[in-house]
Structure formats: structure tokens, C-alpha cells
Amino acid sequence: MSGNEELKQKIIEWFQKNSREGKTRFYMKDVVKALAEEYDKRDIQKAINECTVDKTLMYFSTGSTTMLVLPENFPKSVT
């Protein structure tokens, strides 16, 4: 497993661990802060973006802010 694949796996694991009822969406800065001791900030941001490309994470926008969410926690309908 390459370093980048390992980092992407850590990011997904972080989302799975921290997602719970009522709190499933997170800012990129939350993930960066949580993993900053082990990884470089830019590497984390790049890996998050790659996760959105391969659809292991999704962007969620309220119109005024953008957050990240696991696909299984993405709201089915937003009004």
C-alpha cells in the first residue's frame, strides 16, 4: 500500500470513527487537524480531494459552507 493509499485509508477510518447520529459532516480543517501530527497538511488535503474523486467521500454544501461526508451518510433529500 503506497503512502497516499495509506493516508486515504486513515482519513476514511477517521470519518467512520467520528461519524455518529447528528454529526456526520466535517470541515476539511477538522480532518487536517486530527491527522496533522502524522502527516503533512498538503498531503492530507490532496488525499481528501482524491477521496472525493474516487467517491469514498462526498462534498456537502449548504450554500454558505462546504463540508465532507461519507457517502452512506449523505442526505437522501435536501430541501
Per-residue pLDDT of the chain (79 residues; tens, 9 = 90+): 566 899 999 999 999 999 988 899 999 999 999 999 999 999 999 999 999 999 999 999 988 999 999 999 987 765 4
Answer yes or no: is 27 within a domain. yes
pLDDT given for residue 79 in this prediction: 46
Asked if residue 33 is part of any domain, the answer here is: yes
- Three-class secondary structure of residue 40 per DSSP: coil
Query: Is there a domain that residue 60 lies in?
Result: yes
CATH assignment of the domain containing 38: 1.10.10.10
Query: Per the domain annotation, does 31 fall within a domain?
Result: yes
Residue 32 has a CB neighbour count (10 Å cut-off) of 18
**pTM of the complete model:** 0.86
Is residue 79 one of the residues assigned to a domain?
Answer: no
In the chain, which residue ranges form alpha helices assigned H by DSSP?
3-18, 28-35, 41-53
Q: Give me the number of domains the chain comprises.
A: 1
Domain span at 69: 3-73
Residues 21 and 68: their CA atoms lie apart, in Å, by 15
